[in-house]
Structure 1
Amino acid sequence: MGTLAVALGVTLTGCGEDTLSLPSADDVAEEVTGEPAPEGGQSAEGSLPGLPGAEEGRAQLGELTVAEEGSMAGYSRDEFPHWQSTDGCTARQHVLVRDGTGVETDDNCQPQAGEWYSAFDGETLTAASEVDIDHIVPLAAAWRSGADSWDEETRRAFANDLENPQLIAVSASSNRSKGDQTPADWQPMESYWCEYGLAWTSVKHTYELTVTDEEFDALTEMLDTCA
């Protein structure tokens, strides 16, 4: 699995003393998706980078390996180093800019103003401190479905992935409610089922992670809500 991070093309660097000014939301979105950011933050189709269409998502789901969940033995969040710095800003800060509206930052890339719509529960947040950056596929869930065999480079790429639909700005309360649960046990509000199911499926497909029977059934139900 060590070659997976290289194949994904994720470039991560350590934090240095010199930092660059934070790019605009349009610049960040265009860098990671190849397209300008949708006006007003997340669109009805979802602004997560690399989000597949419904047909592609269903095809990806059919290609996933169904297996029982693995053990949590040896798991620690420290096994997935984050948040790493890219272009002088952390992955968390990049997502705050990408997913926010009217975001203003200081010289250290930290947002000082803006609004963030939490697609998990419909809340609108007006302070970065109220926003969590959720891993669509939680680190612990990844560990139980194959990440326990990865090397540190691949785990770091997974935890800081700005190129695939793995990171999203949401309310702290919804992120805590989700925890490390899969779609078999936790789903966002129903209006976001399609995008969430597509994102979860895409991430598991990209990183060659397994799904359980119950998880597969829940994802099938969620993707059935896609137009």
Structure 2
Amino acid sequence: MNWFTKTFSSTIGRKIVMSITGLFLCSFLVVHLLGNLTLFRNDGGEAFNLYSHFMAHNGIIRTMEIVLLLGFLFHIYDAIVLNRRNSSARPINYAENHPEQNTGTWASRNMGLLGTVILVFLIIHLWNFFVPARFGGLDPVVIEDVEYENLYVRVVQSFQVWWYVLIYVLGMIALAYHLIHGFQSAFQSLGLTHKKYTPFIQIFGFAFSVLVCLGFAIIPIYFFFSQQ
């Protein structure tokens, strides 16, 4: 156990954990987006409410929520530890005295800031949607003689508030930048780099980051302007 602890508490080990949890969270984003796209169906929210009910009451999904939460916690904790180690190893005055040597993209230099913005957005998002969906507080709706919680109405009402739409869109912009750097960095940390395949990974990672975040951002924008 000692070697295991030392390995995964080292900088390389923590980067591996960051990479694995990050790619796992990417898979969650795809599933979550596909479910949210049911909001665009012209059925008064029936498909979305059925999807929400399934996600809230399926035993496998509820178990995966615990795994997802642990993935978030490990990802955030390792990010904080690595950021502190990088700050200690690279004093601030170095970047100030040698700005030309401060290499990397803007996203790579500001992953901590982007992660903080995403975390704040996530807390607001969970409080507004996840908590009422799991612990009550939503109005009921009857679908085929069965009563369900009407999360669809909560979504529509939330996306009528301009500042919430703004927070949501800014959160998706931050997430896009975070993913663009993180996707490529994850493969690099796992040693999955090759001059033949790395360019494809970079292109795929960029497309994935932009399209997924754009898909999420379109939802509040659509409901905000369609209800005006």
Q: TM-score, normalised by structure 1?
A: 0.31
Give the strand-richer structure, 1 or 2. Answer: 1
Give the helix-richer structure, 1 or 2. Answer: 2
Q: TM-score, normalised by structure 2?
A: 0.31
Q: Which has the larger radius of gyration?
A: 2
